[in-house]
A and B are shown apart, each in its own frame.
Chain A
Amino acid sequence: MLDFEPFYLTLKLVTVTTVILFVIGVPLAWWLAFSRSRLIVLLEALVGLPIVLPPSVLGFYLLLAFSPENAFGKFLDHYFDVRLVFTFPGLVIASVIYSLPFMVQPIQSGFRMIPQSLREASYMLGKGKFTTLIKVVLPNMKSSLITGCILSFAHTIGEFGVVLMVGGNIPKETRVVSIAIYDEVEAMNYHHATVYSTILLVFSFLVLVSVYLVNQRAHKVHYLS
């Protein structure tokens, strides 16, 4: 009997991670796109780090940080009774860090493509920065927003190294599909591994197709002029 728990876990992880990333990604991307501070270059490099870093490095440092044997982890454990290693919340934090650039960078480019005069026209009409962001800027960069969400989604689904190090392989808690597949192969349950892999493949493909369809429709309107 195939255990479907890994699918729920993966879906949960991916959804929660993408939502969190969107909420922190938009302001962060705005800042990176429009700030004139020279220090912004440092922040940009920091945000981009997870692309370059091997997942095991990130996983290793997170494990050190979260472990109750070390300062930060001990603090969390002692005062809040919160553990981040081998738990789902810990996975979420790890995924958010790991997929951050995949959300931020497309949105940052999207912001840069909005003509300055569009934002300025909104300011001249008495609208503040936040209203301008929500009503003028974001609605006109839907494809960048969608791209950011798809890339983070895809990147998080495929996550393995970081998850294994920070999450371990705890059933119903951190055994996401990518780990479950590895597990089944190790146990020589090739049949289960195949089923997991196929379902994941089909699901991811369907998600991408539907998103690209939506995106294409959004584009058609633009090209009419």
Chain B
Amino acid sequence: MNKIRLSIGIVFIFLVTHTEAQQSNRILIAAASDLKFALDSVVSAFKAKNNGTIDVTYGSSGKLSEQISNGAPFDLFFSADIIYPNQLKEKGLTSSDIYPYGIGRIVIWSKKINPQTEGMKSLLQPFIKKIAIANPAHAPYGKRAEEALIYYKLMETTKDKLVYGENISQTAQFVTTGAADIGIIALSLALSPTMKHENGSYYLIPETSHQPLVQGLVLTNHAKGNDLAIAFLQFIKGSTSQEILHYFGFSKPQ
């Protein structure tokens, strides 16, 4: 019995002291899920030239914004729209101007058919039982998907087949695993190596059918005085990042 107590004690002390050492020179980023691959690449590029720890949490813009309002310790917030960063600004939770870092696009993606053939009408194929979109309540990409469906007058016929992903990443996961037959996801995800591996194809939904996906980023109050955060913001504005974002289908805002 004593040996067990001793070993538990040692493990306990080790654990408690282990993770305390990494506080300085670190930034925590909250990013919309459509940036999963794009931002990971940007972060790698940044780390090649700078010291410091950068951790990213991906999720739906609405949820992340809510967490920030509730005190989550994020330094930068990359939203998939401009509205959520604006809301934070109004609450006095930001420490920089909102920088529009790119314009996103939505696509129809499927493994089972090639959406290019029928375009929007692909969604009406009889074999389709489930159509995945992101949850419009807190994911901007979901909201735009909804707008596009309404614009093309497809909402009535498709609404019973819709399944909502918690964020655009989970939405993509629904389609790649076959849980949904087809889905409306982010272009940036469709262009990622992981998605390309899945042997699906996509159709780029015309921009005229929805509000533009002007994606904005902002520094939070938590980042005040954090030089690494400011350095990262500068890096995003630079050409390396712009190229990476462009590769993943983001166009430059005017």
Q: Determine the residue in chain A with the shortest Cβ distance to B165.
A: A186
Q: Could you pull out 13 A-B pairs where Cβ atoms are within 8 angstroms?
A: A9-B19, A15-B8, A15-B11, A63-B70, A73-B71, A77-B71, A83-B73, A86-B67, A168-B57, A171-B28, A185-B173, A186-B173, A188-B194
Whether B15 lies near A86 (C-beta < 8 A) is no
Whether B71 lies near A186 (C-beta < 8 A) is no
Known pairs A8-B18, A186-B169; A168 contacts B67 (CB<8 A): yes
Whether B70 lies near A68 (C-beta < 8 A) is yes
A170 within 8 A of B: yes
A135 within 8 A of B: no
A71 within 8 A of B: no
User: Would you give the 0/1 interface string for B1-20, flagging 1 where the beta carbon is closer than 8 Å to chain A?
Assistant: 00010001001100110110
Known pairs A11-B15, A15-B12, A172-B19; A186 contacts B33 (CB<8 A): yes
Which listed residue (A85, A186, A189) contacts B70, Cβ 8 A? A85
Whether A8 lies near B72 (C-beta < 8 A) is no
Q: Give the interface size bracket for A toward B.
A: 20 to 34
Interface pairs A-B: 5 shortest CB-CB: A171-B55, A12-B15, A86-B72, A68-B71, A67-B70
- Restricting to B124-169, which residues have a CB under 8 Å from any CB of A? 166-167, 169
Q: Give the interface size bracket for B toward A.
A: 20 to 34
Report the separation of the CA atoms of residues A12 and B17 in the bound assembly, to the nearest whole angstrom: 10
Report the separation of the CA atoms of residues A206 and B110 in the bound assembly, to the nearest whole angstrom: 42
Interface residues in chain B, defined as those with a beta carbon under 8 Å from any beta carbon in chain A: 4, 8, 11-12, 15-16, 18-19, 22, 28, 33, 36, 55-59, 67, 69-73, 166-167, 169-170, 172-173, 176, 194-195
Q: Determine the residue in chain B with the shortest Cβ distance to A14.
A: B15
- Restricting to A55-78, which residues have a CB under 8 Å from any CB of B? 63, 67-69, 73, 77
Known pairs A73-B71, A77-B71, A86-B67; A186 contacts B167 (CB<8 A): yes
Closest approach, in angstroms, between the C-beta of A46 and any C-beta of chain B? Answer: 26
Query: Main SS of chain B's interface residues?
Result: helix
Known pairs A19-B12, A188-B194; A172 contacts B71 (CB<8 A): no
Residues of B within 8 A of A63 (CB): 70
Q: Determine the residue in chain B with the shortest Cβ distance to A70.
A: B70
Closest approach, in angstroms, between the C-beta of A71 and any C-beta of chain B? Answer: 14
Q: Which of B12, B22, B176 has the most C-beta atoms of chain A within 10 angstroms of its own C-beta?
A: B12
User: Would you give the 0/1 interface string for A173-194, flagging 1 where the beta carbon is closer than 8 Å to chain B?
Assistant: 1010000000101111100000
A43 within 8 A of B: no
Residues of A within 8 A of B172 (CB): 188
Report the separation of the CA atoms of residues A183 and B10 in the bound assembly, to the nearest whole angstrom: 31
Closest approach, in angstroms, between the C-beta of A184 and any C-beta of chain B? Answer: 10
User: Would you give the 0/1 interface string for A158-177, flagging 1 where the beta carbon is closer than 8 Å to chain B?
Assistant: 00000000001111110100
Report the separation of the CA atoms of residues A183 and B166 in the bound assembly, to the nearest whole angstrom: 11
Report the separation of the CA atoms of residues A102 and B147 in the bound assembly, to the nearest whole angstrom: 48
A214 within 8 A of B: yes
Q: Determine the residue in chain A with the shortest Cβ distance to B64.
A: A168
Whether A69 lies near B70 (C-beta < 8 A) is yes
Report the separation of the CA atoms of residues A172 and B18 in the bound assembly, to the nearest whole angstrom: 11
Whether A186 lies near B22 (C-beta < 8 A) is no
Whether A214 lies near B4 (C-beta < 8 A) is yes
Whether A169 lies near B57 (C-beta < 8 A) is yes
Which listed residue (A8, A16, A187) contacts B36, Cβ 8 A? A187
Whether B8 lies near A170 (C-beta < 8 A) is no
Closest approach, in angstroms, between the C-beta of B232 and any C-beta of chain A? Answer: 16
